[in-house]
Structures are given as structure tokens and as C-alpha cells.
Structure 1
Amino acid sequence: MSESREFCPRCGDPIPERGDPLPGEPRDRDESLCDACYFDDFDLVDAPDRIEVRVCSQCGAIHRGNRWVDVGARDYTDVAVDEVTEALGVHVEADDVTWGVEPEQVDQNTIRMHCLFSGTVRGTFLEEEVIVPVMISRQTCQRCGRIAGGYYSSIVQIRATDRTPTPEEEERAVEIAESYIADREEKGDRNAFISDIGETADGTNIKVSTNQMGGGIAKRVVRELGGHVKEYPTLVTEDGDGNEVYRVTYAVRLPKFTPGDVIDPDDDAGPVLVRSVQGNLKGTRLATGDQYEARFEEGETPDARKLGTAEDASETTVVAVEDDHAVQVLDPETYESKTVPRPDFFDPDAETVPVLKSRAGLHVLPEDVSETD
């Protein structure tokens, strides 16, 4: 490379010819320095003296910018590598840059990051190593703080019409709530959580983080278990902008009857084994085997009295099949032979059948009685 007529203003050595800048292009002040003086002040890598990573000690989230972010990590080495990578800067004049990071775990809260960089500047190959300590600061994120403090914005009350919910209904309602919140968490919603699940004499209370999620849980419960939901808002405070803040109670009322109940509708057509209470109540007539569905205006609670449940049924002996409409069975209490209606679901070859004895008489139940929805 030929030498120019320019000299380094720092050491006085001649500067190699590098070509004149384009018209209107300012000359970089570093261009006037020789290579030796240029590299005296040159840093290939710009790195901070240390980096602090704020970590939630409860859920493992890390604080980035002005918010907490779930990373699902308990080992924060990868997090430290990401943070250091984000903080490092390589000189714009460097070409063909390669780099690598080697973490060193000093103690539980300190990771020393050894960062090795190489690149080409002014045709000269350079290598530089920097060491950046990463300090893990364990704190409590806003979400975990709220959970620990019992914070909630809505209550989902699981109740039932003219009865208390069954243990199975309460258990399923809680599963639905937890599944709903898990779906929201999986989508990255850090406002999604259940702060408390409490049992009362009337049913279960589920305290939820937001009103929107409380309403979503209530709708899912009703969609699967039947019934209806009513909202009862209560003014609790005002936010910083003067807007009213309400806490909403979602009162879920499950249907009066449940699958497996045997009821006697007020239509003189005989008892019904309840199969479903989603939408209108549906079931099977025990006298005929015909399908039953409550009228639209009755919904899931027709005018009927409860005679018992499928769990109350007893297995008894078939004495004789009289004709297409009648069959003789033994009364499970008195052991007398009784003639009862023969429904379509009755198997004429069966030696025993489940029967339910109630104030309305003796009723043959389907063999698949345990498979009610």
C-alpha cells in the first residue's frame, strides 16, 4: 500500500493511502490516525461492567423492560447468556466477526460470563476477551405477590337449585376453572390465576384474578354441567383515573336434577331416568324405554318430583316375561313376584335386572344405567 502525504497527528508517522472520501462525505477523524495509534484507543467490544437480572423466586419469571416475562427456567445460565448477548456491542468497523460465550457459575446468584470476540479491522485480525459478571437478584413478581396476598377480582360460586352440589359436580367445576386458567397462562397471560378455592355448606367458591376470567369460568361450568349464571357486581374502589372498579360475583346455579336421577314428571307418563341436563333435560322413560325431553320453557328443570337415583337401584331376579309389555320380577325387599312394565331396553334373555323401588312403584332400569352423561 503506498504512503500518502498525510502524517499521523499523534505520532507523526506517515499514513498509508486509503483513498479520498466521496464528495460531500465527511472524513472520519480516526482515519487521520495511523494503525498503531488507532488500535491504541480501539475497543472491539463494548460491554457493561456488570448485569443484574431480576428473577421471581416463586414462579421463575424475569424482569425485562418494565414487565415480568415467563421463561420457565430454574437454571438461569441461558437467561444470563441472553442478557449478556443483548448488552454487548461490537465495533461497527469490524468485519467477519465471530464470538462465543462461556459461563462460569461462581455461586447461586453470580454467573461470570467469559466472552471471546474476533474480527477484522483495517485488514488486521483482532481478538478480545471481556468478562461480564451477571448478578441474579431474587424478588417477587407482581403476580406472585398478588397470589400470596389473596388478591382477586371475581368470585365464581358453585351452587344448585333446591339442593347442594354433589362432590362430583364441585370437583368437576374446580377442574374446569383450573383448565381455563391453565389455557390463559399457556397463552402468556400473567394476569391469570386462582387465588383461593373454598368450601362452604352451600357449595364451592372460586376466587379468580379478573372479572373477565371469572365470567369465562362460569360460562364453561354451565356449558358442561347445565344450569344458569347470574352476575352481581359490587363497587370496591376507583382507579387512578377516577374509573369505578367493580368486583363481580358469578352465581352459578346448577340444575335441580342430575344425570342418574329418577324423576316423575307431572305428565302422567311415568318415571324418567335423567340422562342429560345440558340445555333441556333429557332422559329415558322407564315404563316404555322411549326418549324424553322437557319442553323448551321448562329447560333443565321440568315440574317433577325426584323418586331416587340410579345408585339406589338393586339387582333382582327376572321371574318371567309375560308379554311384550309386562315382565315379572322379584321385589328386592319383600321377595314377592311383581308384574311391572317391560321397557324397550329390557333384555328378554336376562336372568337379573336392576330395579328401583320408590313410592311410585317398582321400575326396571337400563343395564347401562351407570353410563348416564
Structure 2
Amino acid sequence: MSRSAFCPRCGEPVEGGDRPELPGAPAAAETGLCDACYFEDFELVSAPEKLTIRVCAQCGAVHRGNRWVDVGAEDYTDVAIDAVAESLGVHLDAAEVAWQVEPEQVDQNTIRMHCLFTGVVRGEAIEEEVVVPVTISRETCTRCGRIAGSYYASVVQLRARERTPTKEEREAAKEISHEIVEEMEATGDRNAFVTEIDDTADGVDVKVSTTNIGKKISQRLVNRFGGSFSDSETLVTEDEDGNEVYRVTYAVRLPPFTKGDVIDPEDGEGPVLVGSARGTVKGRRLATGERYESGFEEGDAPEARRLGRREDAQQTTLVSVEDERAVQVLDPETYESKTIPRPDFLDTESGTVSVLKSRAGLHAVPEDGPE
């Protein structure tokens, strides 16, 4: 049964039941207006007169909502399309709506978005075109601003007890710092960055953007090389809300002995080539090749003299094998024949041997290092 009413604007009759109604849309009689009057004021799409996209000129991040987001875009056309799509509104009476967009690059910072919409309203196919100018506003994001200002929240100080850190330990501190920052960036943390790495006479100082990064670097260094770390806070300022802001210093102290050191525990059993100093000192006796580990109570700093490094060893001639416990070699400095202990790692078939000369005498060292 058809329902009749009159258009309040022109007085023409409005037949609400003479054509199919779209699901969820009001019937013609309910809207009150006839088709002619209805379409006279009808807008398929509502669009802003213009849009501005805030972009970091340094890293390319885009400001969305109340934060900066890394988008990885080489240009900002796709970003502009997304921004326009989010800003457009389509009339609720429209069905089967489709749209296409053609961007026009006006200049480096302006893109004119030509948007064509089609849809069905009151059974009639209509289309509408809107043009939205998009301006790219180049700014500096919070992260890049902090980097430019040399901001840091914590500093990791790499040091070693009774020695200076080795080249390997110094390089590891730098590599680990960048690795952790990359890991945190991969999770979307834009506040993660290394501010500065400074090689000093005593070790390495690494300034980073958050206290969490500083703690992670310290933990990873200790897990790899042994030793321990402590932290201390220093009040530096107050934020805009009056909260106290602290800077944290992480002091990493590596063990006095490190992989490749040759030490003499002075226990009467001869020198040890150190393989690890994590928790306790572990290595091999140069006189026998037997495994060595310092006592739990001694930890990573047993009473011992440092005699040298694995790389200080020199190649010399293996003169003869005296018995199961001794061989004769040429002293690499005097070229005299010397009897030295025969450890189980010594290859008597090779004709040469690596030896280290120290205060404890002449000792063979493994060709393959301390493990």
C-alpha cells in the first residue's frame, strides 16, 4: 500500500511506497521532501576545504593524533590519500558508494587530491567530485629534536678492575648499544637512540635516550664478559609538571682478567690461559692442559699475577720429545734448547710450537686459543 504526503517545500505529492527503499534509509515520506527538493540540497560527500600533514624534515615521520609515527614513505602521496580518506564523510542515505582519487603534485609541499565519488541515493545513481588541497608542513619531531639537542637520560660507563678494557670489549659495548636500540625501534619505540659514544683512556662512555636502554646495555655486557654493574641517580631538572627528572649512570666493572690472558694463580700448578671470567675464572693449565676454575669464594678475581696475553706467544721449533711430561724447544729469544712441560694439547708431530716466555718461564700455549 502506497503512502502519500506533500513536499513541505514545493507542495508536490511525495509517494513513499512507489519505489524500493534502501535498507536502513528513511522513506521518502519520512524525509518529507520530494526528490527534486531533496537533491537540490543533497551532498554525497562532505570534505574539508584543505588539510595539513605534519612531517619531520629529518626522519620523515608523520604526526598523527598526538604522536609521531614512522611511515617509511619515500614520498607523501599515500600519506595524503590516507589523510583525505579519514577526513571525508559520506551521506548516510547513499548506498553502493565507490571512490577513486587522482593526486596532483602542485609543488614540493602541496598535493591537490581530486576525488570522484559514485553512489545510489533514492534509487538514482549519482556522482560527485571534490578537490582537497593537502599541504606538507615540514617540522622537527620530538625524537629528532632530542637528538639534535644531545639529549640523554642515562650513561653507561664501561670500565675494568685493575686494567683497561680490551679492544674487543670496547667494540662490543658499541655494537651492543646499537643492537639494543635497533631492537627497541623494531617494536615501535621512537624514543630509543644512542646520543653519543666516547672512547676514553679508562674505557667507553655510552650516552643513550632512556634509562631502560642503559640498563639493558649493562646487563648484556655483564652477561657476555662477566663482572657487575651498579647504578646511581643524579637530579638534573624538573619537567613542566614540576616532577623531578633524574639522569642515571650505570657503572659496568669488568673482571680483572679476560679471555686470552695468561695468569699465574701461584698455587704451584703453573700458569693458566683464561677462557672466560663470567662468575669465576675458567681456563687451561699451560703445564698440563687440564681445566682450571677459580673457587666460588674467589669469583672472577682470584689472587693471581698476569703474565701476558695469548697473542704474545711466538712460534718456535720443537727440538725433541723427552718423555710424556716434557719436550725440548728453542728459546725464541736466545735460540737455546730449553726443556718445558708437555701439555696434552701439544701436537708433537707438527715440528713447531707456540710458546709464551714470562716470569714463570717458557710454556707452550694452545694453537686454537684458550677454550
TM-score normalized by structure 1? 0.93
2:117 matched residue in structure 1? 117
Amino acid at match of 1:10: R
Report deviation, 1:258.
1.6
Report deviation, 1:255.
1.5
1:97 aligns to 2:103 (yes or no): no
Distance 2:104 2:348 in 1: 79
Distance 1:296 1:73 in 2: 56
Distance 2:273 2:179 in 1: 31
Secondary structure at the residue paired with 2:58?
Answer: coil
Secondary structure at the residue paired with 1:338?
Answer: strand
1:30 touches 1:38 (CA, 8 Å); kept in 2? no
Q: Deviations over 1:231-259 (max 9, x none)?
A: 12112233455443221110111121121
Distance 1:289 1:17 in 2: 101
Q: Percent identity between the aligned chains?
A: 64
2:312 matched residue in structure 1? 312
Distance 2:6 2:39 in 1: 16
TM-score normalized by structure 2? 0.94
Structure 2 residue ranges without an equivalent (≥5): none
1:110 touches 1:135 (CA, 8 Å); kept in 2? yes
Cα distance change on mapping 1:295 and 1:195 into 2, 3 Å = same
2:16 matched residue in structure 1? 17
Q: Deviations over 1:253-288 (max 9, x none)?
A: 112112111110131110001111222111110000
2:285 matched residue in structure 1? 285
Distance 1:67 1:324 in 2: 73
Q: Deviations over 1:147-200 (max 9, x none)?
A: 100111111011111111122211111100110111111101122111111122
2:162 matched residue in structure 1? 162
Distance 1:18 1:275 in 2: 91
2:58 touches 2:144 (CA, 8 Å); kept in 1? yes
1:334 matched residue in structure 2? 334
Distance 1:73 1:17 in 2: 51
2:14 touches 2:28 (CA, 8 Å); kept in 1? no
1:234 matched residue in structure 2? 234
- Once superposed, what is the RMSD of the aligned Cα atoms? 2.0
Cα distance change on mapping 1:89 and 1:245 into 2, 3 Å = same
Secondary structure at the residue paired with 1:98?
Answer: strand
2:133 matched residue in structure 1? 133
2:41 matched residue in structure 1? 41
- Size of the aligned set, in residue pairs, is 366
1:321 aligns to 2:325 (yes or no): no
Cα distance change on mapping 1:135 and 1:26 into 2, 3 Å = closer
1:351 aligns to 2:367 (yes or no): no
Report deviation, 1:225.
2.0
Amino acid at match of 1:185: E
Q: Deviations over 1:75-109 (max 9, x none)?
A: 11111111111111111111111111222222111
Distance 1:28 1:152 in 2: 65
